Every structure is written in C-alpha cells, then in structure tokens.
Amino acid sequence: MKKFLLLLFIVCSLNVIGQIYDAPMRSKIPPTMRVYSLGIYKMGADNYYHYESYSIPELLTSSDYLSTSKGNEHFFCYSKQAKRYYFYTDNLIGFYFPTDNILENDLRSAMDDNHVKKIDLKELPSFVNEVVNKMNERYREINDSIKEKIVAEKKIQREKYVQDSISAAQKKSAEKEEYRKTHNWRELEMSNAYKFECKFCDKSHSLKKMMVLSLSADTVYYLQDEPDLSLIGINHFTIHYSPLTNVIKNDPKFIDHIDTWRDSISNHNDMKNQDADILNIVHYSEFNQKVCNRAPYGFIERWGWHLNSADGIEPYFTFHNTAKKTIKYVDFYFSVFNAVGDKCYLKYNKSYIGNVRGVGPVEQYESGSWNWDRATHYTSSDASEMRIIKLVITYMDGTTKTIPKDSIIYDD
C-alpha cells in the first residue's frame, strides 16, 4: 500500500501544460530505477562550460546523479519500446530506466495521460538536439558573462602594469638620458646570441643584435643585418616575427633596453602578425618589380663549366625568369678561349661557337637549372675560359627573345 501511494505521488506531480515532471527522486532514487546520462555541461580547465556527450549512455549512481545534476527534471519524451523516460535538468540530459514492472507501468500510464511525447528510438536524436540547442544558448550566455569578467580583469591588470611602468621610467629617466643620446631604441643588443623562431618563414635565427620594428610584451618584429634575398644587386629584407621566450626576457641587456625605451616601445607595439604578412607580400612584390625593371627578361643566377678527361665541355647554368611569359627553352651560346685569349676550336660542330639548350617550363619569378654532365662539345685541352655570346629565349607561345652578350645580366 505504501509503495502504491509513493507511485501515486510521483505520477501526480507531472505538469500537463509544460510536460514537466519534478521527480521526488531528486532526493532519493528507488533501487528499482536506474538513471543514465546522455550528456552534461561541465566547467573545463579554461573556466568555461563545455558540453560533454556520451556515445554510450553513462549509468549514474544515486550520489553521482545528485552531485552532478542541477535543477529539476523536465521530461520531454519517452520510448515505450525501450522503456526509457527522457528528461533534462539545468545541466544534464538523460533518461530513467525502471527495472520494476509495476513502477514502469504506472509511469508510462502517467506519461500517456499527460501527453508526454512517445517516440521511436530513431526519433531520439532530433529531440535530444533540440534540448542541447536550448542548453547551448543558455550556457553561451553564461560563458559570455565569464569572458566579460576575464576581459575586464585583464584590462585592469594591463592598465596597472602600464601605470607602474611609466612611474618606474620617470624615476630612472635622469640616469638613462645619456644612454638615450648615444643609442636608438630600434637597435636591440643582448648579452648573448639567442634563437628566434620566426613564425613567418619558419626558420630559426641565432641573433645577438637586431633591428626592431615593433616590440610587444610577447612578440618582436625585426629585420636581420643581412638581406634575406639579394638578386642582381637588389636586396630584400623580410619582416620576421618571433615569440619572446623567458630566457630572452630575463636577459639583463634586454631588460635595460625595455626600461630605457619603454615609451618608444609602447608607441610601436601595435604591429600584428597579419600586418607583417601583408607588408612582406607588398615588399616582396616591390622587390620583384625592381628586379624585373633591371632585368626584364631574366638573368643568369649562376653558371660555370669544366673540361672532362676527353677535353669535352660540360657546362651548367641557372636562369631566373622575370618575364610574364613561361619559358619553353633557353639556348645558351658560348665560346671558349685559352689562357692568352685565343678562341678554341669546337670539334663537335666545327666552329668557334657552341650552344646548349635548357628545357623548361620556367614560370615568372622561378629559376631553371641545367647541368650537362656529358660533353656537349669537344675542344683543345688548353681551353681555360668560357664566354657567353648570347641567349635565345623561346616562350610557350612560340615567341622568342634574343639577348646579346652586352645585355646579359648576371647575379654577382
């Protein structure tokens, strides 16, 4: 009789309008009822709430359920076939599974009387997703309020840090004035050479000195002393940016540099990675344009030759294409001379001018390299110098360009 009254109290607490069932099992779960969790919202290590979904429903003990679940249960559907009663709380989605037939029959009857949705298991994902979406919206607002608080705290900390820095700089201004007169804030020198891992070129630079473009609390934007790329006398300097490691930040000279030039650094700490990437693209484009203006059809990056044991000529060439057209062939015409400047006869074609052909394709701003490791021509053994007579470039569209020797440009 007591058991029947308990069941009657449970089913009578169903809310017909909202289809909400505030289960008394919040305080005590009968041993004939099992609770499974489909997913739950938990606070992560980042101090934000995240939804953790279980591909296999997790069976909860009574104590686990009461300690993890927040708020009342709201039933939203049940499966007659699986004998499951699906509900959600403020942070948990799950289902009850009665193992007692009497309790299961009474619950199902109450669900039917109150029009709680009866579903097949294949319909379950859509019902669960609807509940998850509602939870997501609620916890999105909670996470936004957490984020606002974190941002506000960081802003306060930053403002305090800047104020403390200004006060310290003012106190030390007199003793640093002489240093300011003899140095520039962009000239950063450290006690040792440190490795800077550039995030733009993915290379490691070992530097003791650098030219600083922008410096923030965690990143330095800098130029190296030597150009990153040099073609036909035109230099290109890449803007590199690298995280500042604790080792660098703790370097005495680095600390003195920051303290001395705090104001200048603060006024030049607004560069971002994207800004540097865009500037590098623009500067590289300008660099290429300067190279094209000086060598509109291209230039020889490197070349050379040697005689093999049979007096055969084995040359090599690398040609850089600056024209918009794609190169199909590059014909190199050459003569060889002995030590006193006499032309050496080429036995292969019975003349004093030989040629080799480099086969492309070579796109604009790309280089083609060719190495003829088998003799292309044979000459006398006293040949010691080669001179390029002309270049004939054939493009993919069939047009050609002849570059005489006086117009050939070499990369020194």
The pLDDT of 240-261, averaged and rounded, is 91
Q: How far apart are CA 378 and CA 363, in angstroms?
A: 32
Q: What are the DSSP calls for 279-317, one per residue?
A: HHHHHHHHHHHHHHHH-TT-EEEEEEEEE-TTSEEEEEE
Q: What is the structure's pLDDT at 260? A: 84
Q: What is the structure's pLDDT at 211? A: 92
Residues in the chain: 412
Strands (DSSP E) found in 238-384: 240-243, 299-307, 312-320, 327-337, 354-362, 367-371, 377-378
Q: What is the structure's pLDDT at 28? A: 53
Mean pLDDT over the full length of the chain: 86
pLDDT confidence of 314, banded at 50, 70, 90? Answer: very high
Strand, helix or coil for residue 152: helix
Q: How far apart are CA 104 and CA 82, in angstroms?
A: 11
Q: Which of 20-29, 57-66, 167-176, 249-258 has the lowest mean pLDDT?
A: 20-29
Cβ pair 124, 131 in contact under 8 A: no
Q: Identify whether 252 is preceded by a cis peptide bond (ω within 30 of 0).
A: no
- Whether pLDDT at 107 is above 80: no
Which tokens in the block code for residue 102? Answer: 């009497």
C-alpha distances (whole Å) from 362 to each of 314, 334, 394, 395 are 22, 21, 11, 9
Q: How far apart are CA 175 and CA 163, in angstroms?
A: 20
Q: Could you report the per-residue pLDDT of 79-91, keeping only the tens digit for each?
A: 878 888 888 999 9
pLDDT confidence of 9, banded at 50, 70, 90? Answer: very low
pLDDT confidence of 169, banded at 50, 70, 90? Answer: low
Q: How far apart are CA 245 and CA 243, in angstroms?
A: 6
Which tokens in the block code for residue 346? Answer: 């080429």
Q: How far apart are CA 124 and CA 339, in angstroms?
A: 92
Specify the amino acid at residue 56: I
Q: Which of 102-116, 329-343, 395-409 has the lowest mean pLDDT?
A: 102-116
For the four alpha carbons of 132, 138, 144 and 147, in that order, the dihedral sign comes to negative
- On the CB side of 390, how many CA atoms lie within 13 Å of its CA? 8
The pLDDT of 106-126, averaged and rounded, is 79
Q: What is the structure's pLDDT at 103? A: 74
- Percent with pLDDT over 70 in the chain: 91
Q: What is the structure's pLDDT at 61? A: 86
Specify the amino acid at residue 170: Q
Which tokens in the block code for residue 256? Answer: 């003195």
Q: Could you report the per-residue pLDDT of 121-167, keeping only the tens digit for each?
A: 888 888 889 999 999 999 999 999 999 998 999 899 998 898 888 87
Q: What is the structure's pLDDT at 184? A: 83
pLDDT confidence of 172, banded at 50, 70, 90? Answer: low
Task: For the chain, give every domain's residue range.
Answer: 2-136, 187-293, 299-407
Write down the pTM of the prediction: 0.51
Look at the domain 299-407 and name its fold. Answer: Immunoglobulin-like (2.60.40)
Which tokens in the block code for residue 125? Answer: 């994902």
Specify the amino acid at residue 189: E
The pLDDT of 50-64, averaged and rounded, is 89
Q: How far apart are CA 269 and CA 255, in angstroms?
A: 16
For residues 92 and 262, which has the higher predicted lDDT (pLDDT)?
92
C-alpha distances (whole Å) from 12 to each of 47, 113, 395 are 40, 10, 89
Q: Could you report the per-residue pLDDT of 88-101, keeping only the tens digit for each?
A: 999 999 988 887 77
Beta bridge mates, 34: 97
- Whether pLDDT at 3 is above 60: no
Exposed, middle or buried by CB within 10 Å (0-12, 13-18, 19+), for 325? middle
Q: What is the structure's pLDDT at 59? A: 92
Most confident among 3-7, 29-33, 121-125, 196-200 (mean pLDDT): 196-200
Cβ pair 114, 108 in contact under 8 A: no
Count of C-beta atoms within a 10 Å radius of residue 30: 17
pLDDT confidence of 176, banded at 50, 70, 90? Answer: confident
Cβ pair 305, 386 in contact under 8 A: yes
Helix axes 2-12, 101-113, angle to 10 degrees: 30
Nearest to 361 by CA among 331, 326, 400, 332: 326
Per the listing, tokens 């003990």 go with 61
